[in-house]
Amino acid sequence: MTTTDGKLALSSTSAMVLLWAEPHLYTAPFAQRYWDRLDLSAGLEMDRQIHAICSFNDHVIKNRKWIIRRWSNQILDQGDIKQVVIIAAGLSPQGLEIAENYDDVTVYELDLSNMTQKADLVKGMGGAPRNIQFLTADLTDIKACSRALIEHGWKPDAPSLIVAEGISYYLSRQDFVQCFDLAQKGSRAIVDYLVPYDQLMPERRELPGQIFDVVVQACGLKTPIETWRGPDLVAALDGEQIDHVTMCDVERMKYQGVQDHTVSFPAPDSGWIEIIDIAIG
């Protein structure tokens, strides 16, 4: 649905996540224009509720998006992978940013909802990158996802970069692992995941459960929130770990040499989301 000023109105959960992202993270001109066309006001109440639980939860999203963008660029800069599959892409500008910066790479965004609205908005703006596809598909039916991708030019026998951001907690382990059946030899997967609560420092173990309770209530989710340990995820995908970071690691990378930044994650066990880069196939 569009607002009176021509912006696309987002649901509360979609808007909430993008409210916490850093707009300047997306530097490509079209991605910036697209960002400006999103109405994030529906996320303000959820933002208030979660901020009352954890005043720095937005830093989790900012850090997560920063490292995923950094790693995606590093992988694509090598030139070996020419197709990107973003699962549960939502309304994020991420795929548009990649498509705009890498015109020899084809980006495929998959999600169960919002893809038609996103495609219509992008098409209506003019000047959009042509190397991106927005596909409506149910991630729990990986065969249907594969068919949809192939119909739109994806090469199943070529390596892909598969980006799974903000989705591993909401799918069952079986459904999530099956998403990576799309990966052929030479593929890479960038995944963020929620760590088991007992891995957190004691004073923070209650925070992720309280935060996700707000999300679950807003979305009406029926499946339990899933957690992973990094080595278990690598083994489940039959892959090899290339890199792995905690929130503490990302903060140190982002603010290297900056003396006055706020430290939200002072130790490896202070953050409940971790990100991993896995070679598959």
Residue 197 pLDDT exceeds 60: yes
pLDDT above 50 for 245: yes
CA gap 3, 37 in Å, rounded: 10
**pLDDT tens-digit readout, 33-87:** 999 999 999 999 999 999 999 999 999 999 999 999 999 999 999 999 999 999 9
Task: Let me know: does 110 contact 179? Beta carbons within 8 Å.
Answer: no
The pLDDT tens digits of the residues spanning 92-150 come to: 999 999 999 999 999 999 999 999 999 999 999 999 999 999 999 999 999 999 999 99
Share of the chain above pLDDT 70, in %: 97
pLDDT at 2 over 60: no
Q: How far apart, in Å, are the Cα atoms of 196 and each of 12, 200, 230, 252?
A: 26, 8, 10, 23
Residue 4: the pLDDT is 45
Q: DSSP secondary-structure letter at 195?
A: P
Q: Which residues pair with 38 in a beta bridge?
A: 8
Tokens of 20: 């916490």
Q: Could you tell me which residues come within 8 angstroms of residue 84 by beta carbon, excluding any fewer than 6 positions away?
A: 72, 76, 95, 98, 105, 106, 107, 108, 160, 161, 162, 163
Rounded-to-integer distance, Cα 204 and Cα 272, Å: 9
* Interacting residues of 128 by C-beta distance below 8 A, sequence separation 6+: 30, 96, 122
